[in-house]
Structure 1
Amino acid sequence: MRTRVALVVTAVLAAVLVPLPAGGAAPPGLGRILLTSTANPATSQFVSWSRTKPRGGQRVVTVAPDGTVRTTPAKRKLGTTERTAGSGHARYVAKVTGLRPSTRYRYRIVSGRDATPWRTFRTAGRARDTFSFLQFGDTQVDNAELPARIIDRASRRHPGARLVLQAGDVVNRPWSGREWADLHRAVNPSGQYRSWISSIGNHEQCDVPSPCRSGDARGFRSYFHGPDNGFRGQRRTWYFTDHGPARIIVLDSFGSDLARQRDFLVKALRSNRRPWSIVLMHRGPFAARGDRDNATMRRWFLDPLEKHGADLVLSGHDHSYARARKAGITYLTSVSGPKYYDTSARDFSRNGATRQRWAERTSTYQVITVARSALRVRSFVAHRAGGAEPDAKVGDVLDSFTLRR
């Protein structure tokens, strides 16, 4: 016991004596800090960051409420390049483990005698613990403008939200360094205090008609670090993570491995022992845009979703708002940026789904509260462009519904 106490005291002193850079800023050359979720976020946390130049000794120091200090060495992971992401940055990630559920920890990134200011994160609760999270649709363009304001407003209005989900197309041109810089301005400071989960879109991996380069989505894969669930052939762009009463399953709807993802989806749904299954994918099984047909998504994913008990499917891609219902599953498509398409019920109705609510030229964010016996979704109006329908004011609840067990 005496040895253990001595180690703890030494660690505390080491953490306290690391100098804070002048002005409370991060050390020069360090930035783009982002929390992302592990497979077991009640007891662990991913912390990742970039450096303009590689540097050894990267680590994260965390402090528990009782003063216990933990130092976690970081690993260098895939970084960005000038050609594929507009800048060449080294990227680091640390997986902090041995944490307690529903507990707030202080953390800082340390390298040598440099350190960031202290920040905090809160671990996920147990399977019985109610929690809420924010959800955004496509941001894609001008992230430092409207999307940044929407994310900031939602984060301030709902400070108790423990998690953020975003439905892909985080940038428009993945080779543009400015677009990634704008994205990180929009994501932060929210992404430094709560985990950020994003499904990869088609723009990040250059599945677009115009010339594009991304190096197999190198920018996205550098910045967004997903967990490994031990599924054979799994990529870090599709995975699941368990938060409170929900399993959140993230898919890559423009991936080249849809057959493998289908098998993964079946396993993730069938093995879920929590009350709710939420699926996040950029392109959903039904298109909210009138001239689209999401037959590929229905071919690979609709049968597993219906047979194995999905509850809520969140998507973007169609730059409009739509909520639909089929076979006991609710499908919600949304947009959180300034780019819009006209919406239609065509792809829903001709494939057996009922569109229940819609909006055009209206950006929203969702607040989703998950309890053991109920899942409540509220969609807030965040911006209205010219010609927006239906009538609503910014800040109003556009749509609200509750799923019950």
Structure 2
Amino acid sequence: MVPHLVTANPGPILELEKKLLDSNAAIERWFRLQWQAHQPPFYASVDLRNAGFKLAPVDTNLYPGGFNNLSEAMLPLAVHAAQSAIDVICPDARSLLLIPEKHTRNQFYLRNVARLQAILRQTGLDVRLGTMAEDVTEPFRVELPEGIALDIAPVQRHGNRVGLDGFDPCAVLLNNDLSAGTPGILAGIDQLVLPALHAGWTQRRKSKHFAAYDVVVESFSQLLGIDPWLINPYFGRCGEVNFQDKTTANECLESNVEALLFRIRAKYREYGISEKPFVIVKADAGTYGMGIMTVKDPSEVRELNRKQRNKMAVVKDGLQVTEVIIQEGVHTIERVNEGVAEPVVYMIDRYVVGGFYRVHAERGTDENLNAPGMEFVPLPFASDCCMPICTARPGDEAPNRFYMYGVVARLAALAAAVELQMTDPANTAGIVPTLVTEAA
């Protein structure tokens, strides 16, 4: 299945696709060299936006919660990718404790947990589910409509190890993004924790991720001889905002919006783009599509009403928003069943293992689609994403578009690897990781 595309300005994106196809061997060699120097995240998902004149990631999640939305065809590839990751990170692992989010009533999320557990079990691991919810003191079972049952037990700590009653795992895999804080029960344990604790939203910032992405894209663009802007959204950051206080002018936010719109307009003029530029203001930490708004003029920041302020002020787990990232808005030209759509690419280790379209029939091409009412349509990334048809003309073959999505998503995953190296508490000297350079 390929979505219906509507575009009045296909030139730049088709030229980019052709460049990627022509440089396929150099791209794959470049990635291979980077992964030798930078450990990829255990897993990640990347939200992409295809505007027809640029293709860019707009969010990178290190605790992906939509494995249930992937095509069944991706399962063998996902198993092999997980096996590869475990062989490198923890080759002697026999057992793993998977800790999901605390909201156990969300059936869609629990299907994700079931799918993830099934993938990991196929690698030869004994995978059990644990919860850090303070109000859970006894094991319990959750029945899913598909006839699948999830057995979840409270996580226990004994000395410097965590596990379940009678279960001492080799490693801990978090599918909980730690928005509520770094749990003390995991601090200083002897077991490997994936992702590392500093990858949680208590410490992680989107602005740091996109700063790392700037570095990655600069190197990649030099390799291919392309304009970095074609695959990179501009961004700014404000570290002191107060949406609850109507008297607060938030000069930082307003000035950053104005400056970013100025830069975007200049690029639009350069490429002859007629669309109206916009920016997305969102919490610098957090997920679930909360704390996000579209802004087309700086005056909109000054004129927020109470409802808008309340929406922006608090995100998941009731956390107050005091830091925001202002990101270049990227239109989407993609549609599925008449709904506005954006591709989401899933990776385990360094491999693309699947993807789906996030579709929202009630949202516009310049709006956030991660909102109530969205639907998910699986894509056949498992068989197509890594095998482009290089002899085809750009735009003629679906595998080529999927390959392009996979390349940009892997750039975001590499940026996440660099970001986690930069923010590692052990990196006390503040050493900035460097990318491997090689002529095309």
- TM-score, shorter chain, exceeding 0.5: no
Q: Which has the higher contact order (CA 8 A, sep 6+)?
A: 2
Report which of the two has the higher share of helix: 2
What TM-score does the superposition give when structure 1 sets the normalisation length?
0.30
Name the TM-score, length of structure 2 as normaliser.
0.28
